[in-house]
Amino acid sequence: MACASATLLKSSPIIDKFEWIKGQNLRQPSVGVVRCHPTSALTIRATSYADELVKTAKTIASPGRGILAMDESNATCGKRLDSIGLENTEANRQAYRTLLVSVPGLGEYISGAILFEETLYQSTVEGKKMVDVLVEQNIVPGIKVDKGLVPLPGSNNESWCQGLDGLSSRTAAYYQQGARFAKWRTVVSIPNGPSALAVKEAAWGLARYAAISQDSGLVPIVEPEILLDGEHGIDRTFEVAQKVWAEVFFYLAENNVLFEGILLKPSMVTPGAECKDKATPQQVADYTLKLLHRRIPPAVPGIMFLSGGQSEVEATLNLNAMNQSPNPWHVSFSYARALQNTCLKTWGGRPENVKAAQDALLTRAKANSLAQLGKYTGEGESEEAKKGMFVKGYVY
């Protein structure tokens, strides 16, 4: 059967900074997206959020901007606080998150912020909703929706990501609370295989999550992380990532996910953290861009890399190397530790250090903004920013 194709999405401008918070007023008439299946009739998926999804994705993937990942679970946030001698209480988590979202001028370099559920419903220490503080800076609020990793029976000591049960009702509620994109992180371990079962489970879970999120009006960030753990070289990482990315996009298509309304958050192609042969930023860029061109459709608006334990400077240098020539996608960042590490240590839980800590976060955000534009030089970086943050067996 011949495959029919149609371009049904109109060109969409970047979303206005208050537009995503207006709820039902943004819902558009149904838009059909035509998919071709070789053995069956055409499947047409209609969603009243299609135009909005495209606009939101374009807003997040805007020049010189990237994502601040601040969606650490309360337990993981507790580890961060413990590192500076603070108790893991809601008040301390609130104080730290208030520091992050209220950095003056942050929206110049940050287009989206991924929040944990507690933060989405939380107010700052001054009593203002954190979502509102972000929107006023033209930063799109997002939400972590997965429920974490658990052992995968029948695999080689691998894991799978839970959270699909009840996801539809949760994403609908998150949309009403002001979130406009979502994140689901699953991982693949090279030292443990990876097994075909683990790869398929990771890809299928990401695809189901993406379809459900889009039906609720949330742009899904698709995050298939290839863990840094291991002694393998960069070629082995490339080989595994090539398989994983192919599987992910196969199942995204099978689930009729709108590619123009997603963002990909992959690992960079690097050697294992314990490999003796280190890669230069240019090598990382060459391998990663080669893989992107082989596996990622240009319809996907943004590639928002995770840092995965790289040092703050290393993550920025690698991103900069990938932006030395034009790409079909917006190649940018979605960093947590690689944006927050120096900021957290500068703060140290002391009110008098808030301004200095916010300046440290703004410095990192600006550096990665320059890297997204291919203009980062690495000059004037602190020794703290050059320290690696890889933790073997890291639990997020």
231 is annotated as an active-site residue: no
E-state strands within the chain: 31-35, 43-47, 66-70, 110-115, 140-144, 149-151, 159-161, 181-188, 219-226, 263-264, 302-305, 330-335
384 is annotated as an active-site residue: no
Which residue type sits at 223? E
Question: Coil, helix or strand for 95?
Answer: helix
Q: According to DSSP H, which parts of 9-166 are helical?
A: 50-60, 74-83, 90-101, 117-120, 130-136
Supply 267's token pair.
């690992």
Among residues 201, 223, 314, 381, the one annotated as catalytic is 223
Other C-beta atoms lying within 10 Å of the C-beta of residue 69: 28
Among residues 55, 260, 265, 314, the one annotated as catalytic is 265
Q: How far apart are the first and last CA of the chain?
A: 46
Tell the residue number behind the tokens 């149904």, with chain if given.
Answer: 30
CB neighbours of 6 closer than 8 A, spacing ≥ 6? 32, 34
Classify strands 330-335 and 302-305 as parallel, antiparallel or unpaired.
parallel
Q: For the CA atoms of 77, 78, 79, 83, what is the dihedral angle to 10 degrees?
A: 110
Supply 333's token pair.
């960042």
The catalytic site residues sit at 223, 265
